[in-house]
Amino acid sequence: MDFALSEEQRMLQDSISGYLESACPLTRVREVAEARDDRAEDVWEELTNLGVHGVLIDEDYGGVGLGYLEAALIAEALGHAVAPVPYAASSIMAPTALAMAGSDEQKEAWLPRIAGGEVVVGVGVTEQIGRRETEGVTSADGKLNGKAMFVLDGASADILMIASDDGGLHLVDPNSPGVTRNKLKTIDRTRTVAEVVLDGAPGDVLAGSVANREPLLNMIDVGRMILAADTLGAAQSMLGKSVDYAKERRQFNRVIGSFQAVKHMCAEMAAELEPCRSLVWYTAHAYTAIPEEGRLMACHAKAHLAEVGKFVARKSTEVHGGMGITDLLGLHYWFKRIGFNRQLLGTPELVREEAARVQQWI
C-alpha cells in the first residue's frame, strides 16, 4: 500500500517540468500566441526527444510504453507551463484508440510516427458528447458526411480521427477531396481546435470501432483525465503566482499576504486544489489498475477539476488586483487554458450526469 509516485515517475515529472521552465517561459508562450502559431516548434521537437508523444505507445511501435499516470504527470507539467503544443488529442486520445481498435496496419502506419513527433493527430468527438450546431457525422461505404466541431489539436493536424454517430472512429486525411478544415479562434491560443466539414470524404475506419462504442468512450475518458491533469498544473501555477505576489505587493505599509482577506483567498485555493492532485493520480492509476472504476473516476476528475480550476483562476486573478486582468502580466494565459479545459469534452454538468448513468442511478 503506497499512494505515491515512484522514483521514476518523480524523475519524469522533474525532467519535463525542468525543460519547460527553461525553454518555455511566458515570453515564448506569448510569441506563439501573438503570431497565432499552432505550436511552439522547438518545444514540440524537444518534447519528442523526451518521449512525450510516445508516452503511451508500445516500444514495439517506437514509443516508451508508460501508463496513464505518467501521461497525466506530463499533462500537469504542460498545463503548469501553458505550453503551446498539441498533447491531449494527438499524444493520448489517438494512440489510446489506435492501440485498442486499430488494425495491425493502422497501428504500424501511425503509432511510430506519432511517437516520433512526425505527425499530429486531431480528434473530433464533440458531437458524441454534446451536439450544438451540427448534425454530426455519418458514415456509409467508407465515405463520411457532416460536420465535426472543435476537433482537438486539429488546426494543422496531419491526420484526423473523426467519430461518426455510430461510434466508428475514422482516420481522415485533411488534404483529401471532400474535406474542408477551418481553424476556430478560441480564448486559448496555446491549443488549437478546428471545424471539419466532410462531404463524401474518404475515411479509414478503425477495425475495432465498427459496431463497438467502447474505443470511442475510452478515448473520451482518457481525454477527460488529461484535460483534468492539465487544469491541475495550470491552477497550481496560478496559486504559486498568487502566493508570490501576495508576499511582495505592499499596501497600507504591509505586504498584502498578511491581510487575512488575501491570505484566506490563497488558503482556499490551496484547500480546494490539493485534493485534486490525489484525484487525478488515482484516476490515472485506476484506469488500468482498477478498470471497473475508470470511467466514473474520469468523469469526476474532469468535472471536479473544471470547478476547482474555475475557482482558482478567478481567485488568483483577484489576488493580483488590477494587474491580474492585464496582458502585461500574462496571467490570462492560465485563466484561458483552464477555461478551455472546462468546456472541451463535456462541461461539468454534462459529465456529472454521465457519472450518474455510470453508477446506474438513472
Partner 1 sequence: MDLEYSPEYREFRDEVRTFLDENKHRAPNAARMIPGRPNSPKEWQQLLIEHGYAARTIPKEYGGYGAEPDILKTRIIAEEFARARVPTGHSGDNRLVPTVLELGTEEQKQWLVPPSVRGEMTWCQGYSEPGSGSDLASLSTKAELDGDEWVINGQKIWTSGAQNADMMFCLVRTEPDAPKHNGISYLVFSMDTPGIEVRPLVSMMGDAFFNEVFFTDVRVPKDQIIGKRGEGWFVANTTLRYERGGLGDPNEAENRLNRIVDMMKRETVSGERLIDNPIYRDRLLKLQGQILAMKFNGMRVLSHNIKGEEPGMARWIVKLNGCELNHQMAGLAIDVLGELGLLYDGSDYLRDGGFWQARYMLDLGLIIGGGTAQIQKNMIGERALGLPKEPKVEAA
- Can you give the binding site for partner 1, defined by CB under 8 A? 1-6, 69, 243, 246-247, 254-255, 257-260, 263-264, 266-268, 270-271, 274-279, 281-282, 285, 289-290, 297, 300, 303-304, 307, 349, 352-353, 355-356, 361-362
Nearer to partner 1, 41 or 268 (CB): 268
Q: Of 1 and 328, which has the nearer Cβ to partner 1?
A: 1
Whether residue 216 contacts residue 128, with contact meaning beta carbons closer than 8 Å, is answered with yes
CA distance 94 to 125: 11
Nearest alpha carbon to residue 86 among 48, 127, 35: 48
**In terms of CB distance, is 183 or 249 closer to partner 1?**
249
Nearer residue to partner 1 within complex by CB, 310 or 336: 310
Contact 172, 179 (CB under 8 A): yes
Q: How far is the CB of 262 from partner 1 (least distance, A)?
A: 8
Cα dist. 359→217, 236, 295, 362 in Å? 16, 30, 10, 8
127 touches 343 (CB < 8 A): no
Rounded to the nearest whole angstrom, what is the least distance from the CB of residue 222 to partner 1 in the complex? 17
DSSP 139: E
Q: Are 316 and 269 in contact (CB under 8 A)?
A: yes
Pairing of strands 137-140, 143-152: antiparallel
Report the C-alpha gap between 209 and 214 in whole angstroms.
7
Minimum CB distance to partner 1, residue 272 (Å): 8
Q: How far apart are CA 115 and CA 52, in angstroms?
A: 8
Cβ neighbors of 314 (< 8 A, separation 6 or more) are: none
- State the minimum distance, in angstroms, from the CB of residue 349 to partner 1: 6
CA angle 207, 210, 213 (to 5 degrees): 115
CB of residue 215 to partner 1, shortest distance in Å = 25
159-163 and 121-124: which strand pairing?
A: parallel
| Shortest separation between residue 277's beta carbon and partner 1, angstroms | 8
**Comparing C-alpha atoms, which of 302, 320, 333, 262 is closest to residue 82?**
333
DSSP string, 232-301: HHHHHHHHHHHHHHHHH-EETTEEGGGSHHHHHHHHHHHHHHHHHHHHHHHHHHHHHHSHHHHHHHHHHH
Minimal distance, residue 181 CB to partner 1, in Å: 36
Nearest distance from C-beta of residue 95 to partner 1, angstroms: 21
Least Cβ distance, residue 266 to partner 1 (angstroms)? 6
C-alpha 255/C-alpha 276 separation (Å) is 29
